[in-house]
Amino acid sequence: MSESRLESGEFKRGPGGRPTREDAERRHRDLITTATRLFLEKGWDGASIDEIARESGVAKRFIYARYPDKAALFAGALERFIVEKIVVLQRSENLPDDVGEGLYAFGRKLLEIALSPEALAFHRLFVAEARVFPSLAKLFAERHREGGALGQIVHVLSTYVERGALEPGDLEMRAEQFFILVVGIPQRLALLIGRESAADEDRRLRAAIALFLEGCRRR
């Protein structure tokens, strides 16, 4: 199937026969959605640019105009996935006055994201390819720290510092510790043998919050 036939009649055209901005953005969303699905289903080696282009309904020139290679496209898919999941965490703006209740509710949302099938699949794929593509590891670390989960944890902790419930200090380091306490073991178990029961997961989360507060609550 030629690239011209692939795209003919499917998108509105602007002056000069170019797609309108809205259609270009829609094609880009379709591309990222399809790339994400194929990467998760087939892995790095199994998902080809040809297949991604065919199933997303865009020409390869459309892909290469935005992503110079498959590694860049994978990074784009990973970044979009992180952004979409962070929106869920950002809905935790109205935090309860009680710091224990607030951190528990936030930790529950964090767990549900980290233990979702898509997040676990991305984690496996990312770990498998990080040594081959170190730039991906660097990108993931930057997104995780700046606009990802760690950034949202810092926001929540800073809110409780301002309210006088937590001691001030290095919030970025504390966010890392919170993430490890809340997500570390449950995620490792889910990757290796599957998720724990809801009761065991809840018990582990409450213990993690209690341990964190033991070291960080304002006396």
| Domain CATH for 2 | 1.10.10.60
Rounded-to-integer distance, Cα 106 and Cα 152, Å: 10
Shared domain for 116 and 164, answered yes or no, is yes
Q: What is the pTM of this model?
A: 0.73
Q: Are residues 113 and 136 in the same domain?
A: yes
Interatomic CA distance for residues 48 and 73, integer angstroms: 11
pLDDT of residue 12: 45
Number of domains composing the chain: 2
Whether residue 61 sits in one domain with residue 73? no
CA distance 178 to 134: 26
- Mean pLDDT across the chain, nearest whole number? 83
Question: Coil, helix or strand for 166?
Answer: strand
| CATH code of residue 214 | 1.10.357.10
Note the pLDDT tens digit of each residue in 148-163: 678 889 999 999 999 9
- In whole angstroms, what is the distance from residue 196 CA to residue 201 CA? 6
Mean pLDDT, range 183-211, rounded to an integer: 95
State pLDDT tens for residues 2-29.
443 334 334 444 444 566 788 888 999 9
Residue range 183-192: mean pLDDT, rounded: 94
**pLDDT reported for residue 83:** 77
Mean pLDDT for 203-207 is 97
Average of per-residue pLDDT across 113-125? 86
Q: Which amino acid is at 78?
A: L
User: How many residues make up the chain in this entry?
Assistant: 219
| 58 and 78 assigned to the same domain | no
Range of the domain at 179: 69-219
Provide the CB-side half-sphere exposure for 66 (13 A, CA): 19
Please report, for residues 32, 38, 146, 159, 165, the alpha-carbon distance to residue 28 in angstroms, rounded to integers and kept in the order given. Answer: 6, 15, 24, 36, 44
